[in-house]
Structure 1
Amino acid sequence: MTSSTPINIKASRRFRRLALNTVITLYCLIIAGGVVRSTGAGMGCPDWPKCFGRWIPPTKLSELPADYKTIYGAKLKGEIEFNPVKTWIEYGNRLIGAFTGVMIFLTLLASVPYLKSGSKKIFYYSLAAFLLVGIQGWLGSKVVSTELMPVMITLHMLLAIVIVFILLYLFTWSSFSQRILEFGINKRILNTLGWVVLTFSLLQILLGTQVRENIDEVIKIFGYEARASWIDKLDYRFYVHRSFSILILAVNLFWFYEVTNNGSDRLLVKLSKLCVAILVVELASGILMAYFGVPPYAQPVHLTLAILLIGLQFVVWLLVNKNKYLVKGQEVGGIGVDEILLK
């Protein structure tokens, strides 16, 4: 039976930095995806992985063949019109996606030393994130080839959330697993509330994708010039999404109350306050879209805040269940970053 080798401080800090930077890069990718959707640039590049058959997209119409509509129009029902702004927005999204893959691969390399420690699962989670990014890239190609089919867009979003969760788990484990948390209430209460909050947040995100699909349907009929009247033409999905936000707010406020008013750990209090603050801003961005003509900048902000919120909620849930998910098999040197949050 071979003994495990503790991870040294240098390797631990390297992995923690890479995990954090990869999470940040992934959120940048989510922002880019939101910009693509809000600007209608999803088909700015009608083919994949190239863009108009080129690795470097064209910047003007003269760079395309004269029969480009014949070449690419069949895929888009003959509605293709070259728009360099939309083309480069979509291509920028692809570049950020490729860079995210590189960052996750570097995180995977940094996790290799854990294979010889008592925390082999860190390597396997890193490997899972790397493989899932490959699948995400494949799903991205299917989003293009199916001409933005709603179910493919929803699957694309769900997989992005799964990857966010894996990377946040790796960062939380490497940063907080050695911290002793002090609970003033029964952890079972926080654990149950955490499940409810995460479930509701995920449902709300899925409802949001349905609303976005409804907006796309309205756009096909009335066009982008009717932006100010989009909301008035939406169906029941918008009203379900809007009403459900009230329940989301109530559950999160109750969760916040339980964490802050019963002597719980200061780190959890800080994170729960941040969750409520993000939720308030997210609701404000939703109100902005609903009553001010769906401004283009509001949608990526709304989407990013939703993913950031569910990510932080997941971190809090992990910390509540620290002894179950973050400590077992832990052999690592160094300190976390919680002292920064507590300043």
Structure 2
Amino acid sequence: MEKTYSTWFVRLNWISLVLIFLVTIAGSFVRITGSGMGCPDWPKCFGQWIPPTDEAVLPDNYKDIYSTKRAKKIEKFSRFLGAIGFQSEAQKIRNDKSLLIEQDFNAQKTWTEYVNRLVGFLAGNAVLLVFLWVIAKYRQRKLVFLATINLIFLMFQAWFGSIVVATNLVPWTITVHLFFALLIIAIQVFILLQVAPSQRIKLPMTAAMR
């Protein structure tokens, strides 16, 4: 006999899936519009939780400020890569001075990136709620594992998003970022298949065999 789950729990999982998918779509839009560096820092945007709409409100030397911060993050990330055996990539990133070039302020790109982060924040909270709900009420081994691993991957994704920004959109970091986004979607779909079996898609061939 299959375990039944509350309607609201199933709905929360659907909401999580939709939000995660929207983050991926928003990320693609950010990439297409070249808005990835619309916010030069993370998690804030130009040091603010709500980004500016006019360059006039920024310090005159804002490019130097964020370039200096970026250099420190790049050095830390390079040391991390070297420590796990990727000395070649670490050296490339450390020696690539183009990564320190700051873009001119563009309100449209800034807000495009900000909306992407905002949707990501909502998705993260939804996944966290799923995890807490599972721990508090259901505690099934498989479900606990899936909810836990999804939350861990999402936290990694958030951290790695800061690395993508810090390294000024190095191509391979974007690829890794996208890979984990797709992996998180896959896990969330699998969770839904566990909690809402009645909503599984029945293939015609499967139905004919019954």
- Same fold, judged at TM 0.5 (above): yes
Task: Spell out the pairing of 1:71-82 with structure 2 (5 A cutoff).
Answer: 71-73=65-67, 75=70, 76-82=99-105
Give the structure with higher Rg (CA).
1
Equivalent of 1:128 in 141, 146, 149: 149
User: Are the aligned partners of 1:40 and 1:86 in contact in 2 as well (CA < 8 Å)?
Assistant: yes
For residues 64 and 128 of structure 1, the distance between their equivalents in structure 2, rounded to whole angstroms, comes to 40
Backbone CA RMSD of aligned residues: 2.2
Match of 2:107 in 1: 84
Instruction: Show CA shifts across 1:271-311 (max 9, x none).
Output: xxxxxxxxxxxxxxxxxxxxxxxxxxxxxxxxxxxxxxxxx
Q: Report the AA paired with residue 35 of structure 1.
A: F
Aligned partners of 2:53 and 2:161: how far apart in 1?
23
**The one of 100, 111, 117 aligned to 1:94:** 117
Cα distance in 1 between the residues matched to 2:34 and 2:199: 46
2: CA distance, partners of 1:175 / 1:136: 26
Identify the match of residue 28 of structure 1 among 9, 22, 25.
Answer: 22
Cα deviation, residue 168, structure 1: 0.3
How far residue 177 of structure 1 moved from its aligned partner, in angstroms, is 6.6
Tell me which amino acid in the other structure corresponds to 2:166: S
Matches within 5 A, 1:295-310: none
User: Residue 13 of structure 2 contacts residue 192 of structure 2 at CA under 8 Å; is this kept in 1?
Assistant: yes
The runs of 5 or more residues in structure 1 that have no matched partner are: 1-5, 182-258, 267-343
Amino acid at match of 2:175: T
Contact 2:9 2:130 in 1 (8 A): yes
Q: Quick one: distance in 2 between partners of 1:13 and 1:166? A: 20
Match of 1:69 among 63, 68, 72: 63
Query: Once the two structures are superposed, what CA deviation does each residue of 1:292-336 show, in whole Å capped at 9, x if it has no partner?
Result: xxxxxxxxxxxxxxxxxxxxxxxxxxxxxxxxxxxxxxxxxxxxx
Q: Which residue of 1 aligns with 2:196?
A: 175
Offset of residue 70 of structure 1: 2.4
Equivalents in 1 of 2:152, 2:24: separation in Å?
A: 18
Task: Determine if contact 1:23/1:167 at 8 Å carries over to the other structure.
Answer: yes
Could you tell me whether the CA contact under 8 Å between 2:36 and 2:169 is conserved in 1?
yes
Pair 1:144–1:108, CA change in 2 (3 A): same
Give the percent of matched residue pairs that are identical in Structure 1 and Structure 2: 40
Matched, 1:265 2:198: no
Residue 43 of structure 1 contacts residue 147 of structure 1 at CA under 8 Å; is this kept in 2? yes
Pick closer, same or farther for the CA change 1:79–1:126 going to 2, 3 Å: closer
For residues 114 and 199 of structure 2, the distance between their equivalents in structure 1, rounded to whole angstroms, comes to 42
TM normalised by structure 1 equals 0.48
Matched AA of 2:138: Y
Offset of 1:43 from its aligned partner? 0.3
**Contact residue 72 and residue 80 of structure 1 kept, 8 A:** no
The answer on whether the counterparts of 1:114 and 1:120 sit within 8 Å (CA) in structure 2 is: no
Higher relative contact order (CA 8 A, sep 6+): 2
Q: Is this contact kept in 1: 2:193–2:199, CA < 8 A? A: no
The aligned counterpart of 1:164 is: 185
- Name 2:50's counterpart in structure 1: 56
Q: 1:45 aligns with which of 39, 42, 45?
A: 39
Task: Give 1:138-157 correspondences, 5 Å limit.
Answer: 138-157=159-178
Query: For residues 161 and 167 of structure 1, what CA distance do their matches in structure 2 show?
Result: 10
The CA distance in 1 between the partners of 2:108 and 2:193, in whole Å, is: 38
Whether the 8 Å contact between 1:14 and 1:110 is mirrored in structure 2 is: no
TM-score of the pair, normalised by structure 2: 0.76
